Amino acid sequence: MELETNTMTHALDGAATPTRATRRGECKTPGGKLAAVTIAGGACRLDGDFFTDGDDAASAALLADIERTLGAMTDAVDAATDAAADAVDAAMRRHPDARLVGTDARAIALAWQRALAGGDAPAALCAPAAAAEPPDDDWRAWWRDLRPVVVIDDVRDPDEQMALDERWAREVAAGERPATVRFWRWGAPAVVVGRFQSIRDEVHLDAAQAEGFAVVRRCTGGGAMIVRPDDVITYSLYAPASFVAGVDAAAAYRRCDGWAVDALRRMGVDARFGGLNDIVSPDGKIGGAAARRFPGAVGAILHHTTLAYRIDADGMARILNTSAEKMRDKAVRSARRRVDPLANRTTLDRDEIMRRLADAARMR
């Protein structure tokens, strides 16, 4: 699970046009996540749709160490990928209480080398990510013990959604709120950007503004998405930290979403888990999740998932900047073919699907 704080701003969100003094390189791990390195004024910044695993301070220290390590090598005469990978790996080993999820030292080193070369470095493939195995436990037993309160929330604007998500998680962490599942109702269209992403590189800001999309940053990692209120179903789980204690990120995602996948199957949707944090059908991605753990007297896990009910693929193309590197390990190139919205899988309308999901979260 990713653990970030608002002080961990590793993305360069300015509107400046990249020059030789500002260079960017990317590396997408097949089956994993994108890591990008931007070199500006001799400093290196790491961004991407990866996650981190560790507490807030440990994760911040890890990312800062990687950036310092790359910055110290930037003026080297020979920009050797292997040497950079070894240096990044050494930085990672200096932080045993935190780790990156979805990317690794070699992917970061390749992104850095491509930044040095102005994006023209050889397109060496990163190693495929290890396949996540299903957890060896019964999510139903965990869910029955959790007994979450289920809320179909008021309509809220995107900024308020982001703030409320973190506030409720912190209240659970402090022991001030019981375990809760909140179904969101969006008050306006939004572009939601992951915690470690560069807005400048992920979003066509002029297009977003012209089409009335607010651009907001969530407190968890993962990738950018566009939200139209009638086209998605979003829910958050706020649970005590004990709910996912002792399990890795892949197992935790499955424990947090097992009830929803089961409910979709009972609605006739051929849903399953895919990759680290996706819910998929045989024909594409239905939805994606992100999460963050919060310290406190009880501690908490915030886990939120957005399911596509419909998709405006043309709108996605206008607003999101999906780089060629991010798509390099995909079998298809268009968002229309990569996403398989629920409207393709069932005749149930969006509100009925949300109602049935809410009942499932109550284990009715």
Give residue 68's pLDDT: 95
Name residue, tokens 């030789």. Answer: 20
Out of 10-19, 32-41, 65-74, which region has the weakest mean confidence (pLDDT)? 10-19
Give residue 284's pLDDT: 93
Give residue 248's pLDDT: 84
Whole-model pTM above 0.75? yes
Give residue 302's pLDDT: 96
Give residue 364's pLDDT: 73
pLDDT band, residue 78 (cuts 50/70/90) = low
Give residue 21's pLDDT: 64
Percentage above 90 pLDDT, the chain: 63
Instruction: State pLDDT tens for residues 283-329.
Output: 999 999 999 988 899 999 999 999 999 999 889 999 998 776 766 65
Give residue 124's pLDDT: 52
Residue 1 CB-density burial (10 A; 0-12 exposed, 13-18 middle, 19+ buried): buried
- Tell me the average pLDDT across 143-151: 96
Instruction: State pLDDT tens for residues 239-263.
Output: 999 999 988 888 999 999 999 999 9
Count the Cβ atoms, other than its own, within 10 Å of residue 347. Answer: 8
pLDDT band, residue 55 (cuts 50/70/90) = confident
pLDDT at 185 over 90: yes
Count the Cβ atoms, other than its own, within 10 Å of residue 238. Answer: 28
DSSP per position, 127-173: PPPPPPPPPSS-HHHHHHHH--EEEEEEEE-HHHHHHHHHHHHHHHH
For domain 139-361, is the CATH number 3.30.1950.10? no
Q: Identify whether the C-beta of residue 190 lies closer than 8 Å to the C-beta of residue 215.
A: yes
